[in-house]
Amino acid sequence: MLGNLAHGLVERYFRCSDSLTKPDADFDAWFAMAFVEIIDQEGATLRIAGRGADLEKFRFRLHRSMCTLREQLHRAGAVKVVPEQAVFGHFEGRELAGSADLIMQNDLGARAIIDMKWSGIKKYPEKLKENRHLQLAIYGELLRQEKGERPSIAYYILDCAR
């Protein structure tokens, strides 16, 4: 559930037209309101008696994670971020499609596919190191077929903001 809530909030944020230019104070205000909305709509079990600490821990970690993601995108020169971007292509003569969590384009025109995971700080870097990142590799190939360029690929682990 935490992963779905986090994905949903990140998606909502990057659908805002000013997501890459929003000042920190405005982001904090947006986050406070949007977090309450998404919990009310999709995470009401976190409001059950005895779950208050879980809710506050989740709020803190997700806020920190989104702040860090905004900083990293800024440092990377991001000029465009598209959440839940559909990608299409062919594999072995068949149509293939998927939905990338985030596709980022920087000021030099380079693209990156970011697959967000709620947890797995040991698991996902290992997958990259051992060349076992099948979903990211497929999305990268589909974007290459569509746009004619090979994108960078990355995992972003939300619970530890890395």
Q: Residue 42 pLDDT more than 90?
A: yes
Return mean pLDDT, the chain. 94
Angle at 18 between CA 15 and CA 19, to 5 degrees: 60
Per-residue pLDDT at 79 exceeds 90: yes
- Whether the per-residue pLDDT at 36 is higher than 90: the answer is yes
What pLDDT does 102 receive? 97
Please determine, for residue 119, whether its predicted confidence score (pLDDT) is greater than 90. Answer: yes
CA distance 51 to 110: 43
pTM for the full predicted model: 0.91
Query: What mean pLDDT do residues 148-154 have?
Result: 91
Beta-sheet strand order (sheet of 152-157) = 78-91, 94-106, 111-117, 152-157
